[in-house]
Structure 1
Amino acid sequence: MEKNKVQFITKTALIAAAYAALTLSFSFISYREVQFRIAEILVLFVFIEPKYATGLVLGCILANLPSPLGVIDVIVGPFATLVAILFIIAIRKTVGYSKNSLIIASFGPVIANAFIVGWELYYLFQTPLWMNALYVGIGEFVVVTVVGTVVVSSMMKNQRFIEKLSI
């Protein structure tokens, strides 16, 4: 197997494991109506390296297998993650690679999860969609936009580290 394929598989597995481990480690705030899923910071890694998308979606699937919301969360959660990732990649391609475009890209996970996971919670608990979207959106905003952009923009300043992240 050539070096690039091994590197891709290894980094994909590491990202998936990191996402799942972070979600499960903080399970008390990772599921339900009000959630602060710390692992969502990793979604911004696709801004640096789009090939991390596969690992992030797989990680979300693994993290949602033991979800108290059931099998629907294994489908809906990764779908929201995929939509968020596609938004981030599109922003990176159209706006460019900068701290400002990273901030704009961070709104993809906020919006995707607010509405998609918000709908899931509406479906499961029959609670108002707007309330679910608001709660999920606030959690995503705090984790991804406030904390995640600080973490990832700090990483972006270290060119050696960025080279290590690339696949």
Structure 2
Amino acid sequence: MLQNTLEHETNSQARHITLVAIVAAIYAAITFVIQPIAFGPVQLRASEGLNHLAAWNKRYIISLGLGVFIANLVSPLGWIDWVFGTLGTVIMTSITYLLTCRVKQAGLKILISSIVVATIGMAILAAEFTLAFNIGAKGAFPSGSTGGIMSQWLAYYLSVVPGEIVSLIVGGVVIYALSKVIDLNK
């Protein structure tokens, strides 16, 4: 009996680690493949559609954070993207998980996730770009804004949101379909 319990716990932990690694690898691989359009103030990072997974299980917060960190190793912003890009992902996916952990309908989970990522997540990314530009970081890109910090932030925010929404819609369709055939909570 005790041996069966230990085997089940070991198998469960191995499954958890495997799923974390697989999702992180998929995120990083998609980003690497589309690298020319995955970075910058106007970007289409298709891997962002995977952010919806955090609405089903908190393990995906770790997966997505790790995937973003790995993908951002090739970012033109260097350490700024490694730190703030990863932190932004962990924050927005944690909020998504907390807001959806009691929600049962897949469509509502995806809607909540989309709102969190497009608002909070992209606000953090715009702040990261604003910081990078204002400290003169290597790889920083000008916002095109002639105003102060807030207008720079707004310019970056408005430039990243459209690509993010496209990624969230495509990812939402994929994750919704997946949720109908696989229990993403487990």
Q: Under a length normalisation based on structure 2, what TM-score does the superposition of the two structures give?
A: 0.80
Verify: 1:136 aligned to 2:160, yes or no. yes
Larger-Rg structure: 2
| Structure with higher helix content | 1
- Give the corresponding residue for 1:147: 170
Give the Å deviation of 1:95. Answer: 4.2
Counterpart-to-counterpart distance in 2, 1:100 and 1:55: 22
- Give the corresponding residue for 2:98: 90
Counterpart-to-counterpart distance in 2, 1:112 and 1:28: 24
Contact 2:56 2:101 in 1 (8 A): no
Counterpart-to-counterpart distance in 2, 1:107 and 1:134: 15
Verify: 1:112 aligned to 2:112, yes or no. no
Number of corresponding residues: 162
Counterpart-to-counterpart distance in 2, 1:73 and 1:152: 26
- In structure 2, runs of 5+ residues without a counterpart are 1-6, 135-142, 144-151
- Please point out which of 28, 31, 34 is paired with 1:26: 34
Letter of the aligned partner of 1:155 in structure 2? L
Counterpart-to-counterpart distance in 2, 1:98 and 1:5: 25
Give the Å deviation of 1:166. Answer: 4.7
- In structure 1, runs of 5+ residues without a counterpart are none
- Give the corresponding residue for 1:80: 88
Overall identity of the aligned pairs, in %: 29
> Alignment RMSD, CA only?
1.7
Q: Under a length normalisation based on structure 1, what TM-score does the superposition of the two structures give?
A: 0.88
Distance 1:13 1:95, change over 3 A: closer
Counterpart-to-counterpart distance in 2, 1:94 and 1:137: 27
- Give the corresponding residue for 1:157: 180
